[in-house]
């Protein structure tokens, strides 16, 4: 790069940082200016609409309620992946959609869930909405090559047979689609449809096709619903929760910047500038793709900033190695980026595969987490491999070429014999995991439950109280919540304001009649509330059994896909098997921590565990990349144990630095955040430490055992130790 280009690159970098800073720091907050004004905030940060439906059918079964809730959950995810649907009482369903303030608009767009029928020319019902599994708007091309939109219907087995019989009989005739007594579409049968998949075509715009598909989906509910009430609810958390989280992120980011400059000198400064661009780009993309941002999501972004350091650490560790061999600064930079490429790409692509599967198979908060994760991965790769490279080469081009600006001479570390301690490490891990299962079993047997499940998992009681004044969120947290906690013994109280009123919705664990009366009396004694006006209903979990099943299936499929990718890239199933085993190890140890600490298991639990999965697999890939590289250079005289020990030692600095920077980001969230943020940050810190431990002490040892014992490789570790004596 020429000097003039270097100057231009640095000027462009400064301008880009300034512009992105305006759209994020200036734009994110109470007064929205710039691109961040359109970032959709979740129910916990910005409030939204709460709609309650009454089931018209008498005595609905639990299976019918569960099926209806799950289908409604899928329906409302078009508004936000963080929308929640849960049961209230025996025959009511509540929907909470964040980021909107007009309940009437949502009701109009959502439609009144009612009966759906497909009627043949003889006015006989062919199938009902219950026979339709999915209805989706699709785009394609007609015979002239023009884009056309259609609705794809997938029927269940029973509907498939009935529809096949009807379409065979009425080819060339119309089968009407009737919703709540009104014909919404009258497609003509062109040919017999026997495969269970049908397409409704016409001169649709995409919006018309999507509206028709939505109506068919909502009409496919097993129960008929009618609107009972709708409210605009305020944020569950005050502005203090957002401001403290942002401050924690800024402080943590500043500490990471200083550390990177101290550790890597001028390249560290380049990576710090690239991280500023990374942060800004993430917020701009959140705006562009209308991703709903919740408090855990905000924490996930702040966490991803710490993880984004990893790629830069890998690069600069490689640059340092090249310079220690006596190569010039320019050649060291070139070789450093080249050699770091495979580890960065493999680690990030593996995690991106997991994000894609979670997006396709997950629902609710899992899908929302996948969005944020994918954005972080893609932007991280771009800033590390393109932006950091551009900035550091620009520094070199403008005349900053002295070796001392890029490298502190250090004595090369002798390989540490990590494998000699593998039995101790394995035993320690087994003790932690088995101990965790023992605590879970004891909790379940003692009636406390294996974990301290939150409202999202177990449901509870929703109490609506009308006060004599309009309390702010912060006043509710400071004055009302402590009283509720004292009376109920609940430490996970959730509150919401009802906009335009003095009502506050208080959600706690399930309260019996005596506890409800005690709470009502406390509200009357402490705040002068007329307890006769207080209403309470039991509510179901917001994470339904179907959503849990979706999450479990998504994680299993993601793990299999990651295993296949690692197998393909490393040409050895033992790399994949040991990576997945280490991943399972990290998850089980963190689960043990949840069981012992009794930290609330709720929506943040899902985000936490998924973050640990991504963090764990990324750390493992870095070590495996070194082992792969060393094996290419391996001669018959080189022992396998030496390869593993050398590879772990060479990446030890990376493991320490990445874990440290990520830990620091989360630590500030824990210190400065609200209680819900601390419940998210603490197990994450444990997961970071466990991930660092497993990548250094477990992963390489597992691969070595599989390779040496099962791969017919000579076990020369003992010989090596003996020769050293």
Mean pLDDT per 10-residue interval, the chain, length 725 residues: 88 88 60 53 72 85 83 75 82 82 64 75 89 84 80 90 93 90 89 91 85 78 78 66 75 88 91 89 81 67 72 88 89 91 86 81 71 84 90 92 85 86 94 94 88 83 92 85 88 80 88 92 93 88 72 81 87 88 91 91 76 79 88 69 90 86 86 77 90 91 85 45 42
Could you count the other beta carbons within 10 Å of the beta carbon of residue 1?
Answer: 15
Same domain, residue pair 624 and 574? yes
Residue 93 phi/psi, 5-degree rounding, is -130, 130
pLDDT value, residue 306? 67
What is the CATH classification number for the domain harbouring 487?
Answer: 3.30.70.100
Residue entry with tokens 């179907």: 546
The reply to whether 410 falls in a domain is: no
Same domain, residue pair 698 and 623? yes
The DSSP-derived string for 471-489 is --HHHIIIIIHHHHHHHH-
Same domain, residue pair 608 and 701? yes
The reply to whether 415 falls in a domain is: no
pLDDT value, residue 39? 67
Same domain, residue pair 274 and 341? yes
CB contact at 8 A, 505 and 464: yes
What is the CATH classification number for the domain harbouring 629?
Answer: 1.20.1640.10
The reply to whether 446 falls in a domain is: no
Same domain, residue pair 341 and 431? no
The beta-strand segments (E) located in 372-486 are 452-453, 460-466
Same domain, residue pair 651 and 581? yes
The reply to whether 675 falls in a domain is: yes
Residue entry with tokens 């509720």: 484
Same domain, residue pair 482 and 592? no
The reply to whether 453 falls in a domain is: no
Residue 23 DSSP code: I
What is the CATH classification number for the domain harbouring 182?
Answer: 3.30.1360.200
pLDDT value, residue 725? 39
pLDDT value, residue 106? 66
Residue entry with tokens 């004292």: 486
Same domain, residue pair 64 and 143? no
* Total residue length of the chain: 725
Same domain, residue pair 704 and 577? yes
Same domain, residue pair 291 and 357? yes
Residue 673 DSSP code: S
pLDDT value, residue 408? 80
Same domain, residue pair 85 and 123? no
Residue 463 phi/psi, 5-degree rounding, is -115, 125
**pLDDT tens digits, residue range 345-378?**
888 888 888 888 877 777 666 777 778 778 888 8
The total number of structural domains in the chain stands at 5
For residues 667 and 595, give the distance between their C-alpha atoms in angstroms, rounded to a whole number. Answer: 21
Range of the domain at 130: 116-220
pLDDT value, residue 33? 46
Could you count the other beta carbons within 10 Å of the beta carbon of residue 399?
Answer: 9
Strand pairing class (84-88; 292-293): unpaired
Same domain, residue pair 287 and 246? yes
């Amino acid at each position: 790069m020429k000097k003039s280009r270097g100057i231009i690159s640095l000027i462009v970098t400064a301008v880009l940082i300034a512009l992105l800073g305006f759209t994020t720091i200036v734009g994110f907050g109470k007064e929205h200016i710039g691109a961040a004004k359109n970032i959709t905030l979740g129910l916990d940060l910005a409030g939204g609409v709460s709609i309650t439906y009454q089931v018209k059918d008498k005595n609905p079964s639990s299976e019918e309620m569960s099926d209806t809730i799950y289908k409604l959950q899928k329906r409302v995810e078009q508004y936000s992946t963080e929308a929640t649907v849960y049961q209230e009482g025996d025959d009511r369903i509540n929907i909470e959609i964040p980021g909107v303030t007009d309940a009437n608009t949502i009701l109009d767009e959502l439609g009144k869930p009612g009966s759906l029928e497909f009627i043949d020319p003889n006015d006989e019902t062919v199938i009902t909405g219950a026979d339709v599994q999915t209805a989706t708007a699709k785009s394609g091309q007609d015979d002239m090559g023009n884009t056309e939109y259609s609705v794809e219907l997938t029927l269940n087995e029973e509907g498939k047979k009935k529809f096949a019989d009807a379409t065979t009989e009425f080819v060339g005739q119309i089968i009407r689609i009737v919703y709540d007594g009104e014909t919404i579409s009258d497609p003509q049968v062109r040919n017999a449809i026997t495969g269970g998949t049908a397409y409704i075509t016409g001169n649709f715009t995409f919006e018309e096709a999507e509206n028709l598909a939505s109506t068919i989906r909502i009409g496919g509910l097993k129960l008929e619903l009618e609107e009972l009430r709708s409210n605009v609810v305020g944020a569950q958390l005050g502005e203090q929760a957002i401001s403290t989280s942002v401050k924690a992120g800024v402080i943590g980011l500043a500490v990471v910047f200083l550390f990177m400059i101290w550790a890597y000198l001028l390249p560290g400064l380049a990576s710090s500038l690239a991280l500023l661009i990374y942060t800004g780009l993430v917020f701009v993309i959140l705006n562009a793709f209308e991703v709903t941002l919740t408090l855990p999501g905000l924490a996930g972004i702040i966490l991803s900033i710490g993880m984004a350091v990893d790629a830069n650490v890998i690069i600069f560790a490689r640059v340092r190695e090249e310079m220690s061999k006596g190569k010039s600064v320019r050649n060291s930079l070139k070789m450093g980026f080249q050699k770091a490429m495979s580890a960065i790409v493999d680690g990030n692509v593996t995690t991106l595969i997991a994000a894609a599967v979670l997006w396709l198979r997950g629902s609710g908060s899992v899908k929302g987490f996948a969005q944020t994760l994918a954005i972080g991965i893609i932007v991280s790769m771009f800033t590390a491999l393109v932006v950091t490279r551009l900035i550091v080469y620009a520094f070199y081009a403008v005349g900053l070429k002295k070796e001392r600006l890029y490298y502190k001479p250090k004595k090369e570390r002798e390989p540490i014999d990590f494998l000699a301690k593998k039995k101790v490490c394995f035993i320690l891990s087994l003790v932690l995991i088995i101990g965790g299962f023992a605590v879970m079993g004891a909790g379940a047997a003692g009636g406390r439950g294996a974990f301290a499940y939150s409202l999202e998992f177990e449901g509870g009681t929703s109490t609506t109280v009308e006060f004599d004044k309009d309390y702010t969120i912060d006043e509710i947290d400071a004055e009302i919540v402590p009283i509720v906690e004292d009376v109920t013994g609940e430490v996970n109280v959730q509150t919401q304001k009802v906009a335009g009123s003095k009502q506050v919705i208080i959600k706690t664990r399930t309260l019996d009649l005596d506890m409800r009366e005690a709470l009502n009396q406390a509200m009357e004694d402490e705040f002068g509330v007329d307890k006769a006006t207080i209403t309470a209903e039991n509510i179901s979990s917001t994470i339904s059994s179907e959503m849990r099943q979706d999450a479990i299936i998504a994680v299993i499929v993601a793990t299999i896909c990651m295993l296949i990718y690692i197998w393909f890239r490393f040409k050895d199933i033992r790399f994949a098997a040991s990576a997945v085993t280490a991943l399972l190890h990290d998850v089980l140890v963190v689960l043990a921590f949840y069981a012992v600490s009794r930290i609330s298991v709720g929506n943040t639990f899902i985000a936490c565990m998924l973050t640990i999965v991504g963090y764990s697999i990324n750390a493992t890939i870095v070590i495996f990349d070194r082992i792969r590289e060393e094996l290419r250079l391996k001669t018959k005289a080189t022992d396998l144990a030496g390869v593993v020990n050398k590879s772990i030692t060479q990446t030890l600095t990376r493991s320490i630095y990445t874990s440290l920077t990520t830990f620091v980001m989360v630590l500030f969230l824990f210190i400065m955040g609200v209680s819900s943020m601390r419940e998210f940050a603490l197990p994450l810190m444990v997961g970071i430490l466990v991930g660092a431990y497993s990548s250094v002490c477990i992963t390489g040892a597992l691969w070595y055992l599989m390779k040496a014992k099962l791969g017919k490789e000579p076990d020369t570790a003992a010989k090596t130790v003996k020769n050293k004596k």
